[in-house]
Chain A
Amino acid sequence: MSEETSNDAAEIVQVRQDGAIAIVTLNYPQRRNAFSMKMRETLYAQLYRLMHHEESCRAIVLTGAGNTFCAGGDISEMQPRKVLEYRQRNELPLDIFRLMVEGPKAVVAAVEGFAFGAGLSLAAACDHVVTSSAARYASAFVKVGLLPDTGLYWSLSQRVGGGLARELMLSAREFNGVEAGETGLANQVVEPGESLNAALKVAQQYAELPSVATAHLKAALATGIRTLDDAIEAEVNLQPILRRSREHQEAVSAFMEKRKPVFVAD
């Protein structure tokens, strides 16, 4: 089970490793990387492996082939189905969303071109978003009589605030990378074509920080922290673990000895 990375042009989700960074590329460019069932299954499997079974990977970059991120659900797959089948088909996108948000490693999006519908959901679920200024975003769901999926309710509200999330989801209006940067959807806006390079730099920063602390911070933020009590509960529960970790003790020693710390996870 060792060689599962694949840069094969035929793979619908390509994965290659760049040092401690895994680059995950949605690869269905003839359909602008539409979020087909096969794409979802492969993405889930790869993300699960990287998050939980790949020690050499310390951070993940998510991007799209063919200069576009993901144009949304695959409309050609939207034939009528039974109600229970719809419920079941909804599980996989939510599992992907949860994996990205609750998993132990940071995911950095590099967005060029289109991020519509589920493409927007995937970008918003990332920890850090680097966007081309010319990227085009829209919560297009309502236009085709659908509700937002793949966790967009939560992830968009988190990043741009409930009020703007509401407006964007109801109106389905398009906005570009510049506005994404202004509103908090994106952390960083770059020239078209530059997002992958910039995303790799950020992923490298994540990779160099203590991994146990990073994982616990992600877990804490995933609980939602809606109230001060939530925040206090998260830190009271988790901080004692960190205080006893090798990484923290190394950091304290390094501070006292006035040297750079060398982090080794427990």
Chain B
Amino acid sequence: MSEKQTAENEVTSLIEVTREGPVAIVTLNNPKRRNAMGRQMRQLLRDTMHRLMVDDPDSRAIVLTGAGEHFCAGADISEMTKRTILQSREILAESCVVVREMQAGPKPVVAAVEGVAFGAGLSLAVATDYVVAASTARFCAAFLRVGLIPDTGILWTLPKRIGMARAREMLSLATEIDGNKAVKIHLANEVVEPGTARAKAIEVARGLADLPPLGMALLKDALTNAATTMEGALKAEIDYQPILRRSKDHQAACKAFMEKTTPVFTGE
């Protein structure tokens, strides 16, 4: 291997991608620091997620998880050195790109959370479509404790899941909750035994991967970008539904319904 490739391999190990069938598993890989994320790691995650979403025909669904015993302890505080205002603005905007990729991108994303999901780690978890949490997982929007406002899109993604009253409480007071409480308030979609979140997330992702991909893509796009007002939601329907009605996958679904068989979806 050339030196350049070796260097790339060392760098890419901060974010690892593995596969199980149509599911791509993205693993935050900095376990000695509970997967705390510095700028380089965030950029890598952004690029990886983008590539999987738009340039990876082998995957139809994505799982996001953390190496070792934790999901992600948040931003790397040791990197919070003095920066200029414009640098700060750029870095913040950069961190949000992956949130938009996951929320509006064409493939469903399932989070598998063991251990801590603190600060930006929490932001990443709640930016996915479906959160599988170990009962002992710990969720905390720790930002206020270090004198920062909650970031990485969490001001939108958390209230969407748990409502503004509970979100305000978690964001303002930096309260910590476990997996059992998380599923009760709908921060997590499902709670599992410790150690089994990854397997369950892959199972959920496989189920989502079996659904017609075009419908999935347009639905995610509509929910994130259009359906934030009533008129926007209605326009998305009128614009997108005719395309889907004329898609091969929809025809296949109707045919399978009439003939009582199981359809196979190609994405067309």
* A–B contact at 8 Å CB threshold (below): yes
> Taking beta carbons and an 8 Å cutoff, which residues of A are in contact with B?
106, 127-129, 158-161, 184-187, 202, 205-206, 209-210, 212-214, 216-218, 220-221, 225-228, 230-232, 234-236, 238-240, 242-245, 247-252, 255-256, 261, 263
The residue in B77, B103, B168, B225 that gathers the most chain A C-beta atoms within 10 A of its C-beta is: B168
Assuming the contacts A128-B169, A159-B164, A235-B155, asked whether A212 and B147 have C-beta atoms less than 8 A apart, the reply is: yes
| Selected contact of B172 from candidates A127, A228, A250, CB within 8 Å | A127
| Selected contact of A242 from candidates B104, B148, B153, B164, CB within 8 Å | B148
Flag whether B165 is at the interface (Cβ < 8 A). Answer: yes
Flag whether B80 is at the interface (Cβ < 8 A). Answer: yes
How many residues of B are in contact with the other chain, CB < 8 A?
A: 45
Is A213 a contact of B155 with CB atoms below 8 Å? no
Contact bitstring B208-243, A, C-beta under 8 A = 1, else 0: 000000000000000011001100000000000000
> Taking beta carbons and an 8 Å cutoff, which residues of B are in contact with A?
77-78, 80, 82-83, 85, 88-89, 92-93, 96, 99-100, 103-104, 143-157, 159, 163-166, 168-169, 171-174, 224-225, 228-229
Chain B residues lying within 8 Å of A227, measured Cβ to Cβ, are 156, 225, 228
Assuming the contacts A235-B92, A236-B89, A240-B85, asked whether A225 and B147 have C-beta atoms less than 8 A apart, the reply is: no
Closest residue on chain B to residue A180 by CB atoms: B165
| Selected contact of A231 from candidates B82, B89, B153, B173, CB within 8 Å | B153
Chain A residues lying within 8 Å of B166, measured Cβ to Cβ, are 184, 187
Is A232 a contact of B228 with CB atoms below 8 Å? no
Assuming the contacts A228-B99, A231-B156, A248-B146, asked whether A239 and B172 have C-beta atoms less than 8 A apart, the reply is: no
Inter-chain CB contacts under 8 Å: number: 139
Is A106 a contact of B172 with CB atoms below 8 Å? yes
Is A255 a contact of B146 with CB atoms below 8 Å? yes
Q: How far is the CA of A161 from the CA of B165 in the complex (A)?
A: 10
Q: How far is the CA of A242 from the CA of B100 in the complex (A)?
A: 24
Q: How far is the CA of A100 from the CA of B78 in the complex (A)?
A: 36
Chain A residues lying within 8 Å of B85, measured Cβ to Cβ, are 240, 244
